[in-house]
Structures are given as C-alpha cells and as structure tokens.
Amino acid sequence: MEIPYGERRISFELDDRRVTKIVNPSEISPSLNPTLEMENALKNPIQGQRIDELSPKGKTIAIAVDDVTRVTPTHIILPPILKSLESAGANRKDIKIIIALGTHREMTDQEMKDKYGPQIVEDYEVINHAFDNETELEYIGKIADNVPVWINKDYIKADIRIATGNIIPHCNAGWGAGAKILLPGLAGEETVGRMHVHSGMTTPNGLGMEDNPTRQLIDEFAEKVGIHLLVNTSITRNREIVKVFCGHFVKAHREGIKLSKKIYGVEISSLSDFTICSSYPADIEFWQGQKGLFSADLATKESGGILLLSPCPEGVAVMHPKLLEYMQYSTDQLKQIYKDEKKIEDYVSLGMAMSIGYVRERHKICIISEGVSHKDAEKLGFEKFQNIDEATNFLSNKYGQDSKINILPMGGETYPILI
C-alpha cells in the first residue's frame, strides 16, 4: 500500500492478515457551490448576528485567520466575508486581517498569497500576530486562576471581531477551530504556554473530546475577549468545503463538530499491537507532526508500538528548541518542574512535552523523518529508522510476527473511535 509522506507517498508491503484496519477519514460529497454555501451561512448565522446587523459602517474590523500549518480554505471563505462587510458599509481601510500564529513562526509574503489569495494580500492589511511583543498585546485579566489573558491589541481594540477556522480533530482542544483561533492563535506567549501546561496536566490526549478542560479554558478566554462572528468550515479529506457554520462562537462550532465527526471520526473494532501512522497533513516540523502520535495512541494497545512517519522539513521545533530538553524528562518530572517556576524558560515547550510524554510512556515510539536527526530522535525518546521495512521488522520482532496492525494514512487529522 501507499501512505502520504509530505508531498510524496511511500510504498510498502504487509501481510494483509495482520492489518486490522486502514483508518482513513470518510469519503463525503463536498458542496457543489462553496461560495454560495458560504454566502448562505453568513445570511443564516447560528444564534448570532448577520454582518449587516453588526452595522460595520464607520467601525474598525479585525478578522482572525489561521496560518500555513492549517488546512482551512481561507482563500475561499475570506472573499464573501469581505464582500458582505463592504456591502454593509465597511471601509476597506478599516479592515485588518490578523494571522493567528499562536507561537508559530511568521508567514512569508508568498505563503500569505498562497494561503489567502494574492488579491487579498494586495488589497487589505494582512499582519502576523506578534505573540512575543508585549507592546502589541493587551492584558485584560486572568482566567482559571493562573492563566493571564494577553490578547493581540489590534484584535481586542477592533469594534467588530471575526474569527475563522476549520473543524478537524485536535489533540489538546478536542477539535480545531471555534475560539481556538484566539487561544492559542492570538494570545501572548505566556498565555499560550499556560494553556499547553493546563492540557498536559488535565487531559494530555483530548483528541475528539468535544468538551474537555482545554476547550473550556479556550472558551473562557474568548468570552473575556469577545467574538462577534464565527465562520468555521467542515471540509472533506481532499480539502473541499462540505458546509460552513457561522454565528455564536460556541453554538456554531459545536454544530460543526457534529458534521466533522462524521468525516474524521473513524470507528475501529480493536486496538492494534502497533500502529503505522503518517502525520499527514501536519508535517512541516515535528511540532506539527507530533499530532499523529495522539491519533495513533487511540488506535494502539497500551504498551504497544507506534511508527510515526513525518518528513519535518523545518526540523523539530523552529520556535521552541527547548522542547528537546524537556522531552528528556518524565511527565512526573515535568510536573515537578512546573511547580518551581523559576526553572521554566518556555511554558509552551513544557506543556507540549507533558502531552507527548504521556504518549511516549504508554507506547514504544519509532519515527521515520528526514528532518529529525538520530540525535534529536534520541532526545525525544524515539527509535529512528530509515524506512518502513526496517521499522516494521523491529516492531514485529518486539510484538510478534503475527501482531496486528492499524494503519493511519492521515494521522494528523484522524480520530479513531473504538467500538
């Protein structure tokens, strides 16, 4: 069979009697007219106001959009939003499109053109979120006792605040999109870090959970900041829009989850001895590629094995090199480090290491990746292999020549459901 590996595919052979299931997102028909679907959703929001009811004339408007690490079809959904705003009286110069980077690297001009469309980048102000610059952030209090609410200043000061995104499974928040475009998307660095630690401490693998502690924190953050209109998509595994959900940032998002769960929630009859998982399409760096581990965790017996395939052309973690250091500790040790805050240089890396460490302590993890060196794989606590045959031979010797295998070709966005 073949599975995705970055922009190419890798072929390999297995005895089909050993394969329990190929766990792929479901095939579903896309909308025949995605622009019309978008326009209808804007006209019929779920428990929210239409754009014309927000009276945008003379007001400043901020639109949060996600970055190059996300598959949201932003180039399709932005034009109808902008057209509706201007038809309702908004002035183009009062509209600001803010890239919700979280703590990811800035997008390049070319990436912006590819993601949002060259005409939009030329006609509107499109800016990268500055998560590490306090002069570009606003502090508006705390939530969940110790999580400071630092939010992008341009967003919080806008008269009308719009949030976009795409609903797929997510290892911390349960599902992507909704208010996640603000936390971590437009939050300050410490806020993002505290959120990740909160995830690691409460629900290290929250994949597919509609209402987990991390999602509750995210929604509380958004309630404090305020979102006037949510625009979320549910798409096929081939990136085509199925339906658009607009309206209240919680109500519309939860409606969207119902549909996305039918696409990305895949029933499996049994857990495997080991799982072969491509992190596709989350594979620009290991910071994204690690998402495949959480999908594989739900498909694998405890103490079973995971083979993660993720090319990671940008390496382990461009913005968070401390991850490698923190990954050399156990989850219990990381929690102890968190209690002594003087030792913490990067809360985001600490929280991420807690969650990855949870999976690592449950499974033997092997990796195939050009972007992760043998030395870095060792620091991550993984066994690195050059190809699938080497890795499957190793895992077959460990778990038995008749051991059962689940395969996740799109592990970066698949939610295995044991029935």
Average confidence (pLDDT) over 61-86? 96
Q: Are residues 324 and 371 in the same domain?
A: yes
Q: Are residues 226 and 295 in the same domain?
A: no
Strands (E), 279-359: 300-309
Residue 376 contacts residue 244 (beta carbons within 8 Å): no
Q: Please give the Cα distance from 365 to 223 (Å, whole number).
A: 39
Q: Are residues 159 and 16 in the same domain?
A: no
- From the list 188, 182, 81, the residue with the least C-alpha distance to 137 is 188
Q: Residue 236's pLDDT is what?
A: 96
Q: Residue 93's pLDDT is what?
A: 97
β-pairing verdict for 241-247 and 364-368: unpaired
Q: How far is CA 399 from the centre of its chain?
A: 32
Using the 3D structure, point to which of 263, 296, 326 is the last residue of a domain: 263
- Percentage, residues of the chain above pLDDT 70: 100
Q: Are residues 340 and 390 in the same domain?
A: yes
Residue 332 contacts residue 361 (beta carbons within 8 Å): no
Q: Residue 228's pLDDT is what?
A: 98
Q: Are residues 195 and 326 in the same domain?
A: no
One-letter amino acid for residue 10 of the chain: I
Using the 3D structure, point to which of 222, 241, 263 is the last residue of a domain: 263
Q: Please give the Cα distance from 167 to 246 (Å, whole number).
A: 12
Q: Are residues 298 and 313 in the same domain?
A: yes
> 276 pairs with which residues across the strands?
307, 407
One-letter amino acid for residue 251 of the chain: K
3-state SS class at 172: coil
Q: How far is CA 207 from the centre of its chain?
A: 11
Q: How far is CA 384 from the centre of its chain?
A: 25
One-letter amino acid for residue 301 of the chain: K
Q: What does each C-alpha distance from 166 to 71, 154, 197, 375 come to in angstroms?
A: 7, 22, 24, 35
Q: Residue 127's pLDDT is what?
A: 97
> Can you list the alpha helix ranges (DSSP code H) found in 88-149?
109-116, 118-123
Q: Residue 245's pLDDT is what?
A: 98
Q: Are residues 340 and 383 in the same domain?
A: yes
Domain count along the chain = 2
Q: Which helix (H) or strand (E) holds 148?
A: strand 147-152
CATH code at 224?
3.40.50.11440
Alpha carbon distance, N-terminus to C-terminus of the chain: 25
Q: Please give the Cα distance from 11 to 3 (Å, whole number).
A: 7
For the record, the structure tokens of 313 come out as 């052309």
Render pLDDT for 138-161 as a digit per residue (tens, 0 to 9): 999 999 878 999 999 999 999 999
Q: Are residues 175 and 312 in the same domain?
A: no
CATH code at 389?
3.90.226.30
Q: Are residues 212 and 74 in the same domain?
A: yes
Render pLDDT for 208-228 as a digit per residue (tens, 0 to 9): 999 999 999 999 999 999 999
pTM: 0.94
Average confidence (pLDDT) over 30-39? 96
- From the list 176, 179, 168, the residue with the least C-alpha distance to 228 is 179
- From the list 345, 240, 278, 207, the residue with the least C-alpha distance to 9 is 278
Q: Are residues 306 and 198 in the same domain?
A: no
Using the 3D structure, point to which of 221, 248, 263 is the last residue of a domain: 263
DSSP track, 352-379: HHHHHHHHHHHSEEEEE-SSS-HHHHHH
Specify burial of residue 266 (Cβ count, 10 A radius: 0-12, 13-18, 19+).
buried
Q: Please give the Cα distance from 62 to 166 (Å, whole number).
A: 18
Q: Please give the Cα distance from 407 to 397 (Å, whole number).
A: 18
Would the pLDDT of 341 be above 90? no
3-state SS class at 83: helix
Would the pLDDT of 27 be above 90? yes
Render pLDDT for 79-138 as a digit per residue (tens, 0 to 9): 999 999 999 999 999 999 999 999 999 999 999 999 999 999 999 999 999 999 999 999
Q: Are residues 319 and 398 in the same domain?
A: yes
Render pLDDT for 357-406 as a digit per residue (tens, 0 to 9): 999 999 999 999 999 999 999 999 999 999 999 999 999 999 999 999 99
Sheet of strand 61-65: strand arrangement? 125-128, 95-99, 61-65, 160-166, 229-235, 241-247
Q: Are residues 220 and 368 in the same domain?
A: no
Angle of helix 347-362 relative to helix 331-339, nearest 10 degrees, comes to: 150
Kindly indicate the confidence band of residue 187, based on its pLDDT and cuts at 50, 70 and 90.
very high
Residue 365, domain extent = 2-25+269-418
